[in-house]
Amino acid sequence: MELITGLNRERNQQIITQATAISTLLLDHGITPIFLKGTGNLLAGLYTDIAERMVGDIDFILPKEQYTKAITLLREDGYTDVLKYHYHLPMQRHYRRIKKENNIAALEIHKELLIEKHTAEFNYDFIKKDIQTINQISLLSYDNKLNLSIISNQITDHGFYYKTIPLRNGYDVFLLSKKTNAQQAVNNLDKLKKPLQCFLAGCFEVFNSPDSLQYVKTRKTIAYVKQFKNTKKIRRKRLVIKNYLALKLFLYTLYRCIVYREYTVWLLHKITDKNWHKEKFSFLIPKKNLNIFLITPHNLFYLLQCFLLHLL
């Protein structure tokens, strides 16, 4: 554990150095990046020891009018695509991941914080009003740090459906609740208030009822907390939810392929990509020393999805 902690401390120090260099580069050209999620928390000094938090990519958001210029500057600085595909999913809330040689982390450059359904409520214009600056680096306010930590799980990762709480997000919310009033932060939003309150309810129970994580008790939050079990019934329910969300995503993507030409082009490139075929159909390859195929309900759904895509 000491070895792993030491490696993560070293990695996070490199991430702080890399993020600082990115901020300096963009500020020199009149662009102000606002750093998000784990990187933003490291830069804000949220943790007693920076080794407490594992961080993947460096996420930051920019105003839409500076989005293209920032990408051009970073590419000129040596950043290139992590995945070397000749096609990319259009209309994403962030640019495809890019990375620079000899730098520890990849970048996710955001123009939106959330999926399209919620962009009107929680977006760049909303968070820019009260950003904080620490060591000449722009970061979210503690209110919006707390909200984004919850929303990243509840909305982006569908935690509101699954009724689960990743301890990484929960721990961030716990620490942030010591910096600001969690109820006040949650009440700044309207349509997102329900999933935010449910997450607070979960954190309140998981972290032994701290005063800083008090939540509004409603039928929804009480029912949400009761789902924190690992019974066979709950696991079956989560599998149904997983397949439902996958089907919903497939139908939504299909709709976009019909309506938008960019999606149609992306789909045609994708379904003719041999590497994609290997990735999606690898479960049909018999396992070593076994004369059976690895078939599960989830894989069968993938097979149906791939078949329908080919029909297009």
Query: pLDDT by residue for the chain (312 residues), tens digit each?
Result: 999 999 999 999 999 999 999 999 999 999 999 999 999 999 999 999 999 999 989 999 999 899 999 999 999 999 998 877 766 676 677 888 899 999 999 999 998 888 777 788 888 889 988 999 998 899 999 999 999 999 888 888 888 888 888 899 999 999 999 999 999 999 898 888 889 999 999 999 889 999 999 888 888 888 888 877 777 887 888 888 888 888 888 888 788 778 878 777 777 777 777 776 666 666 555 555 444 444 455 555 555 555 555 444
Q: What is the pLDDT of residue 91?
A: 67
Confidence at residue 285, expressed as pLDDT on a 0 to 100 scale: 54
pLDDT at 153: 86
Pairing of strands 98-100, 79-81: antiparallel
Return the pLDDT at 307: 54
The pLDDT of residue 298 is 56
What pLDDT is attached to residue 143? 94
Closest CA to 142 of 186, 101, 112: 186
- Helices 193-206 and 167-176, axial angle in degrees (round to 10): 90
Q: What span, in angstroms and rounded, lies between the C-alpha atoms of 243 and 249?
A: 10
Other Cβ atoms within 10 Å of 287 Cβ, number: 10
Say what the pLDDT of residue 292 is.
46
Tokens representing 256?
């976009």
User: CB of 157 within 8 A of CB of 114?
Assistant: no
| Backbone phi, psi, residue 108, to 5° | -125, 110
pLDDT at 53: 92
Q: Which fold has domain 1-140?
A: Beta Polymerase; domain 2 (3.30.460)
Instruction: Flag whether the pTM goes above 0.75.
Output: yes
DSSP for the chain reads: -HHHHHHHHHHHHHHHHHHHHHHHHHHTTT---EE-HHHHHHHHT-SSSGGGS---SEEEE--HHHHHHHHHHHHHTTEEESS--S---SS-SBPPPEEETT-S--EEEES-SS-GGGTTTSSHHHHGGG-EEETTEEE--HHHHHHHHHHIIIIIT-HHHHT---HHHHHHHHHHTTTS-HHHHHHT-STTHHHHHHHHHHHHHHTT--GGG-----HHHHHHHHT----HHHHHHHHHHHHHHHHHHHHHHHHHHHH-HHHHHHHHHHHT-HHHHHHHHGGGSPPTT--S----HHHHHHHHHHHHHHH-
pLDDT of amino acid 34:
95
Domain positions in the chain: 1-140, 232-311
Helices 261-271 and 232-259, interaxial angle, to 10°? 120
Order of all β-strands in the sheet with 34-35: 79-81, 98-100, 107-110, 58-61, 34-35, 137-139, 132-134
66's CB contacts (< 8 A; 6+ apart) are 30, 31
Tokens linked to 55: 């961080």
Short-list 11, 7, 1, CA closest to 42 = 11
What do you get for the CA distance between the two ends of the chain, in Å? 51
CA torsion sign for 169, 170, 173, 178 is negative
pLDDT at 220: 87
